[in-house]
Chains A and B, each alone.
Chain A
Amino acid sequence: MADLRALAAVYVRLVASRIRAHLEYPVSFSLQLVGTALLTLIDFVAIAVIFVNVPELGEWTVGEVALLYALATISFALTDLAIGHLDLFPQMIRDGTFDQILVRPLPSLLQVVTMDFAPRRIGKVIQGVVVLVLALVLLDVDWTVARALAIPLAIAAGAIIYASVWVALATIAFWIVDAIEVVNAFTYGGSFLSQYPIGIFARWLQGLVVFVVPLAFVAYFPALYVLGKDDALGLPQALSFASPLVAVLAALVAGAVWRNAVRHYRSAGG
C-alpha cells in the first residue's frame, strides 16, 4: 500500500514535469489550445446537426442519445488526456528509449505513460461535460441516489476500459513497430462506436462490443440503467451494473498483456 502511494506520488511528479515542459513554450501551447477549442466547436456543430435532423435514433430520444454521447466522450477524453501520448510508444521502441526505461526502478508502463502529458487535451473533456449538462437538462430522469452515483462511476469505469484496450493494442508495437495506424483505427474507431446505442449496429458488431472488446460497457449499459430503458439485445438487466467489474477485468487483462509483451521484448531484444 505504501508502495502504491509512492508510485502515485512519482506519477504526479512526472506528469507535473510534462505540463511544465509544455508551458515552457507559451506560444505553441496557446496555439494548440485555440486549435483544440476550434475543433471542439466544430464537433459540437456536427452533433447539433445530427440531433436536429434525427429526433430519434434506434428508439432513443435526442436527450437520451446526448447522455450516451456525453458518457462515452468524457471517458474517452479522460483516457486520451492520461495516455493519449501512447502513440509515441512505437518511436520509443525504435530509438531504444525503452531500454532506458528498463534500467529505472519503476514499472515500465508507468514510465511509458508519463513520457508526455498534453494539457490541451482537457478541451475534449470540457466538451463532454457540456453535453452531459445539456442531456440532463433535456431528460426527465427519475433520480435516485444510485442513478446519480452511476454517472461518475460509469465515466471512471469507461475511462479504465478505454485505457485497457489502448494499452493492450499498443503492445503490438513490441512485435511490429509501424503498427500505429492499425492501433488508431481501433482506439479512435472504438470511441466512435461507444457513442451510439448499440441497437443500431449490425448483429456481429453488437456481439463484438459486448463480449470481445467491451466497449458497450463504457456508456451504453450505464446509460440504460440511468434512463431505466431495456436493452435492445434483450440481455439481462444485471449487465447495467457490470461496468466497474468489466473495468477491473479489462485492466487486469491489459496488465497481463503488457507484462507478456515486455517479457517478449526482453527475450527477443526488441
Chain B
Amino acid sequence: MIELEGIEKRFVVRVKTGRLRRERREVMAVAGISFSIEPGAMVGYVGPNGAGKSTTVKMLTGILVPSAGRLRVGGLDPPRQRIELARRIGVVFGQRSQLWWDLPLADSFDLLRHIYRVPERRHRENLDRFTQTLALDDFLSTPVRQLSLGQRMRGELTAALLHDPEIVFLDEPTIGLDVVAKAAVREFLAEVNRERGVTVLLTTHDLADIERLCSRLLIIDHGRLIWDGGLDELKRRYGQERTMIVDLEEAAPPLDVPGARVVRVDGPRQWLSFRRDETSAAELTAAVAARSHLVDLAIEETEIEEIVRRIYATGATPPVS
C-alpha cells in the first residue's frame, strides 16, 4: 500500500553568517528511508522533534516532492498524481484544522462531500455511523471555532474518513487531548482499521497511542530509520526502566527500597527508577508504603526521546528490516 525506497529530502536554508551575509546551506531532513506497509496495517511512526517525521508524511501525501528515491502510495506516484491520490487518502494534521472554523461542523462535512464528490447516500451512511461512534450529535451545529479540542479532533477524524479513503495519515491526533478524549480517539481508530480495513500511518509522540493501536513501529531520527519492529520487542530491549514518582507526607531522605533506586528528590517527592523484569509496580508500591507515609504516586513509561537515546547508547546497529 505504501512503499518507500531510499527516499531523501534535502532543503536549502539560508543561514546568517554576518551582519548582511547569508550562506546557503543544505539540510538533509530525510536521509534515505526505505520501508513498505501492507494494506490494512496500522503502523506507528515516531521520533523526536525534527527527526523528519512530518517531512516523510508530507512526501507520502503528495505535498512535498522527494529529492531522491522511489515512492509509491496506493499504486500512485504522490508528487505527480497529487489530485488522484488526494481522493484516496485521508489526512489529519493534529495542530491544523481542515474544517472551516467559522461554519457549523455539519456544513464543513457537506462541503467536503462536494469536494470529494461522495454520492449522497454513501455520505449519509458514513456520517450517521461516525456521528454515532464519536457522539457528534451534541455539536454538529456548533461553529468549529467554538468546539473544544477533543470535539474538534472528533470532527477532524470524521472529515478525514467521510470519503472512504484507503489510507489515512494521522499526525499527532491525540496531542493536547485529555485522557478520556484520547481513549475515545484510540477506540475509534482501532474500529475504523478493523471494520473498514483502512491502512493507517500514525505519527505520534505518545507511546501509549502505539501501545493501544499499532503492532508495528517505525522510529526515525536524524532522517534515518533506526527501528522497524514490534513495540514489545522494543520495550524488552530498551524500555525496561520505568520511573515511579511518589509523594510522601513530608520530606524524607532517599528511600531504600529493594529493586529500585532513587534518582531524584524534591521535597516530599521522590523519583524511583526500576526495571519491569525485576520488580512490579505493585511490589514497589507496597515496599514504599511499608517504609513511609505514601500520599500519591504516578508511573512514567519511558519516553520516546529516552528510547532513542538508549538505542544509540547500545552502539549496536538497530534491527531495521
Contacts and interface: CB of A to CB of B under 8 A. Distances in A.
B139 interface: no
A106 to B, nearest CB: 6
Interface in B74-111: 79, 82-84, 86-87, 89, 91, 93, 96, 98, 100, 102-103, 107, 111
A10 B62 CA distance: 22
Contacts of A95: 96
Interface stretch (B112-120, B209-217, B230-238, B286-294): B112-120
B56 to A, nearest CB: 12
A24 B102 contact: yes
B63 A105 contact: no
Contacts of B9: 269
Contact of B62 (A21, A102, A268): A102
A269 B11 contact: yes
A184 interface: no
Contact of B96 (A9, A100, A104): A100
A266 B65 CA distance: 6
A10 B115 contact: yes
Given A100-B98, A269-B55, A17 B103 contact: yes
B143 interface: yes
A14 B87 contact: no
Contacts of A21: 100, 102-103
Contacts of B180: none
Interface string B1-24: 000000001011000000000000
A17 B82 CA distance: 25
Interface residues on B, range: 20 to 34
B64 A103 contact: no
**Interface centre among B58, B63, B116, by most A CB within 10 Å?**
B63
A24 B114 CA distance: 22
Q: Is chain B's interface secondary structure helix, strand, loop, or mixed overall? A: mixed
Nearest to B79: A266
Interface in A88-117: 95-97, 99-100, 102-107
A20 interface: yes
Interface residues of A, number: 25
Nearest to B160: A103
B64 A269 contact: yes
B61 interface: yes
Chain A contact surface mostly: helix
Given A21-B102, A21-B103, A99 B12 contact: no
A105 B11 contact: no
Contact of B93 (A24, A99, A267): A99
B96 A14 contact: no
Contacts of B100: 17, 21
A131 B115 CA distance: 40
B11 A14 contact: no
B96 A103 contact: no
Interface string B27-44: 001000000000000000
Nearest to A267: B65
Contacts of A106: 83, 115
Interface in A57-79: none
Contacts of B82: 102
Contacts of B64: 266-267, 269
A266 B66 CA distance: 9
Nearest to A10: B114
B102 A103 contact: no
A113 to B, nearest CB: 15
A266 B61 CA distance: 11
B96 A96 contact: yes
B63 A104 contact: no
A268 B9 CA distance: 9
Given A17-B111, A95-B96, 19 more contacts: A9-B114, A13-B114, A14-B111, A17-B103, A97-B96, A99-B58, A99-B96, A100-B96, A102-B63, A102-B82, A103-B63, A103-B86, A104-B115, A105-B84, A106-B115, A267-B65, A268-B12, A269-B55, A269-B58
Considering the complex of A and B, which 4 residue pairs feature the smallest CB-CB distances, nearest first? Answer: A105-B86, A21-B102, A102-B63, A105-B87
Interface of A: 6, 9-10, 13-14, 17, 20-21, 24, 95-97, 99-100, 102-107, 263, 266-269
24 contacts: A13-B111, A20-B103, A20-B107, A21-B103, A24-B102, A24-B143, A95-B96, A96-B93, A99-B58, A99-B63, A100-B98, A102-B62, A103-B62, A103-B63, A105-B86, A263-B65, A266-B63, A266-B64, A266-B79, A268-B11, A268-B12, A269-B9, A269-B58, A269-B64
